[in-house]
Amino acid sequence: MTTPRLQAEHVRLGYDERIVVDGLTLDVADESVTVIIGPNGCGKSTLLRGMGRLLRPRGGSVLLDGKRIDRLPTKDVAKAVGVLPQTPSAPAGLTVGDLVARGRQPHQHWYRQWSSGDEEAVAHALSVTGMSAYADRAVDELSGGQRQRAWISMTLAQETSLLLLDEPITYLDLAHQVDVLDLVHRLHTERGTTVVMVLHDLNLAARYADTLVAMHDGAVVSRGTPDEVLTEDLLSDVFGLDAKVVSDPVAGTPLVLPISAHLRDEA
Amino acid sequence: MNATLAADRAPTGRRALHRRRARRLLCLVALLLALLLASAASLAYGAHPVPLDAVWQALVAPAGGEDDIIVRSLRVPRTVLGILAGLALGVGGALMQGHTRNPLADPGLLGVNQGAALGVVTAVVVFDVTALGSYIWFGFAGALLAAVLVFVLGTVRGGATPVTLALAGAAVSALLYGLISAIVLTDRQGMETYRFWHVGSIAGRELAVAGQLAPFLIAGFVLALANTPGLNSLALGEDVSTALGRNVRRTRLLGILAITLLVGAAVSACGPIAFVGLLVPHIARALTGPDYRWLVPCAGLLGAVLVLLADVLGRLVAGDTLEVGILLAAVGAPGFIHLVRRRGLSKI
């Protein structure tokens, strides 16, 4: 088996005095969808930011193609890894077309600002997300779902083979959540893009992930297929959630049914 | 989304992109034209109006007459300095608002204004320098030192952020202001010089002043333009900027250096001309949209036009007793309030 392109090795991550992730090791399987789950504050987003070199490790290392990601030229990393942070914000009046065009920055130089390759990449990124018709609209005037698709478009225009998405479906209604995840799935199946996402919705995570990674207190507690990871014991241990896990009648993946307190009392 | 996908192939974005670019080019050309007209007005109007053909004559083939002397020794330096100061403050203001992502940020935020003021006062009081051409160097050195001090104080672990820089800038400015007050209160000559410098004026300077500061201004403009793609990515947040392959710290440093050179040079020569750096980026943003590659040059041109027009207006309504700084504050403050009330302060 070849070495995976993106790895974390005994990585320690944190902010100021606070260490959030300590000594975590994770191999991201190539050309697959990895979804990180875990309770609030367990370090999911911190890990994703570390793997996307938005946060410099305090110890250990994140490796891209076997080299330490924080020592590679950041522009070269930007051609290989696209990162979409949680709820980014655009300046007032910025159009969708201009936002997506900024995704081409890693491919531009001061002597060559715009090429036909850039133009094609932008047009393609807009059309894949169904945003071509909105190219002329201001990002801050769009609905939440459209705005999220605009940001994903920008990340796609970067044309990277690895994609790290931090809670890409937060604030979206269920139909738009499925839209975004279907798009991610298509990127993975049609282009072989390697995707790492942080998701809160366990049932959607189970449906779209090839690999689930469950985190608790800054450490990986379980890693495997959704069937292997999403068990009643794990939900109780990691989330402190009393739940029943059944087979999803639509997808056959695990479906988490929480047992609410008032139901438990009646039983 | 699948439903929209098939109908979504038309390259609608492309035509819009070209239309937007044409509009921005038109803006740039119109502003250049406006600057040309404002310069002509600045050369022609004043206590002693000179007809435009005589202005032209004075510029290309002077015969040594009264008109020639007025145009060449008074109005040309004043106009050149007005253009340079307006360009510098407009560009500096646009950079400052971009880096702080704060629509109320002013180019003096880094303590540059008070640093230059202390330099000028020190030159007059301590070193007995009274010639403007000499105390400009003190002013410029003061501006640079203040910016370095603010940068050092504002750099906490993890680098200088807009917030820590603004806080350090406010603290250093207050300290310097206290020092300046203490010095000028006890020194009459210092007080007089400070009073006139502080108003903000482009009159009574020799052309050599512009030559003195030109290298720093040119360096500042080049750095500012080089900074614009970085600003475009910083406008999406530090995380997105990093994800797009920008070194955020280097982008910030480049911007601060450009602001310091531009504003330090302009302020030491002309005093802290109020409102240009605050007002102009807002008008430029309304014209070009939030793309800094267009916004920054447009803000510069607009700044130059505004300073020249305010200066000419001051000469016309009050026979040269209203300095450009006073007039800009008088016109700029209501203008800014109107802008904020009508359009709101846009998120940048």
Model pLDDT, residue B343: 67
Nearest to A157 by CA among A208, A101, A201, A211: A101
Domain assignment present for residue B14? The answer is: no
Q: So what's the pLDDT on residue A1?
A: 55
Contact A91 B14 (CB under 8 A): no
Q: Which one of B16, B293, B346 has the shortest CB-CB distance to A97?
A: B16
From the list A130, A135, A158, the residue facing B1 with the nearest CB is A130
Chain B residues near residue A92 by CB distance under 8 angstroms: 290, 346-348
Domain that holds residue B300: 65-343
Whether residue B44 is contained in a domain is answered as no
- Report pLDDT for B9: 42
Longest pairwise C-alpha distance within chain B: 79
Tell whether B6 is within 8 A of chain A (Cβ): no
Per-residue confidence (pLDDT) for residue B1, from 0 to 100: 41
Reported as a single tens digit per residue, the pLDDT across B277-325 is 888 998 899 888 889 999 999 999 999 999 999 989 888 887 766 778 8
A6-266 belongs to CATH 3.40.50.300: yes
The H helix count followed by the E strand count for chain B is 15, 2
| pLDDT tens digit sequence for A241-252 | 999 999 999 999
B103 three-state secondary structure: coil
B9 in contact with chain A, both atoms CB, cutoff 8 A: yes
Q: Which of A93, A106, A133 sits opposite B8 (nearest CB)?
A: A133
A89/B245 Cβ within 8 A: no
Whether the Cβ atoms of residue A43 and residue A218 lie closer than 8 Å to each other: yes
Q: Are B290 and A93 a contacting pair at CB < 8 A?
A: yes
Q: Where are the beta strands (DSSP E) in chain A?
A: 6-15, 18-28, 33-37, 59-64, 67-68, 81-84, 162-166, 194-198, 211-216, 219-224, 243-247, 254-258
For B4, counting Cβ atoms within 10 Å of its Cβ (0-12 exposed, 13-18 middle, 19+ buried), the class is middle
Query: If you count residue pairs, one on A and one on B, with CB atoms under 8 Å apart, how many are there?
Result: 127
CA distance A153 to A99: 9
Note whether B161 contacts A: Cβ–Cβ < 8 A.
no
Assessment of whether the complete model's pTM goes beyond 0.90: no
- Asked casually if ipTM beats, i.e. exceeds, 0.95, the reply is no
pLDDT at A8 over 80: yes
Closest chain B residue to A175 measured between Cα atoms?
Answer: B1
Q: In what order do the strands lie in the sheet with A67-68?
A: A18-28, A6-15, A59-64, A67-68
Q: Is residue B10 part of a domain?
A: no
Q: How many CB atoms lie within 10 A of CB A83?
A: 26
Residue A226 has pLDDT above 90, yes or no: yes
pLDDT tens column, B262-290: 999 998 888 888 788 888 998 899 888 88
Residue B154 sits in a domain whose CATH number is: 1.10.3470.10
Q: CB atoms < 10 A from the CB of A234, how many? A: 20
Contact B12 A119 (CB under 8 A): no
A89-117 pLDDT, tens digit each = 898 889 999 999 999 999 988 777 778 88
Q: Which residues of chain B have pLDDT under 70?
A: 1-17, 157-159, 320-321, 343-348
Contact A140 B4 (CB under 8 A): no
Of A54, A101, A182, the CB nearest to B243: A54
Catalogue the E-assigned strands of chain B: 155-156, 159-160
Nearest to A88 among B2, B13, B237 (CB): B237
- B25 sits in which H/E element: helix B12-44
Could you tell me if residue B39 is inside a domain? no
Cβ atoms within 10 A of the Cβ of B249, count? 14
Q: Which of B244, B250, B251, B283 to mutate to test the interface with A (most CBs of A within 10 A)?
A: B244
Is A97 strand, coil or helix? helix
pLDDT of residue B135: 82
Residue contact A106–B232, C-beta within 8 A: no
